[in-house]
Amino acid sequence: MTALSVLDLVPVRTDQTTADALASTLALARVADEVGVRRYWVAEHHNMPAVAATNPPLLMSMIAAATTRVRVGSGGVMLPNHSPLVVAEQVALLEAAYPGRVDVGIGRAPGSDPVTSHLLRRGQSAEGVDTFDDDVATLRALVRPGGVEVRVGSSTYPLRATPRATSAPQLWLLGSSSYSAQLAGRLGLPYVFAHHFAGRGTDEATALYRRTFVPSEDLAEPRTIAVANVAVAETEQEARRLTLPQLRSMWRLRAGQTLAFQELVEEAEENPLPAAADEHLAALSASWIVGDPRSAAEQVRALAARLGTDELMVQPITGAVRGTPADRTPSREAMLRMLADALA
Domain definitions of the chain by residue range: 3-343
| Separation between Cα atoms, residue 306 and residue 230, nearest integer Å | 17
Residue 154: pLDDT over 80 = yes
- CATH for 3-343 is 3.20.20.30
- CA-CA distances (angstroms) from residue 149 to 58, 142, 144, 246? 28, 10, 12, 47
The answer to whether the beta carbons of residues 74 and 68 sit under 8 Å apart is: no
| Predicted pLDDT at 199 | 64
* Residue 106 binned pLDDT confidence (cut-offs 50, 70, 90): very high
Residue 151: band (very low, low, confident or very high) from pLDDT cuts 50, 70, 90:
confident
SS (HEC) of 83-133: CHHHHHHHHHHHHHHCCCCEEEEEECCCCCCHHHHHHHCCCCCHHHHHHHH
Query: What pLDDT score was predicted for residue 114?
Result: 73
- Output the pLDDT for position 242: 98
How many Cα atoms within 13 Å fall on the side-chain side of residue 309?
Answer: 26
Tell me the pLDDT band of 125, cut-offs 50, 70 and 90.
low
pLDDT band at 198 (very low <50, low <70, confident <90, very high): low
Pick the most confident of 19-23, 116-120, 129-133.
19-23
Highest-pLDDT range among 199-208, 276-285, 326-335: 326-335
Kindly indicate the confidence band of residue 202, based on its pLDDT and cuts at 50, 70 and 90.
confident
Burial of 221 (0-12, 13-18, 19+ CB in 10 A): exposed
- Mean pLDDT check: name the lowest of 210-224, 237-251, 278-292: 278-292
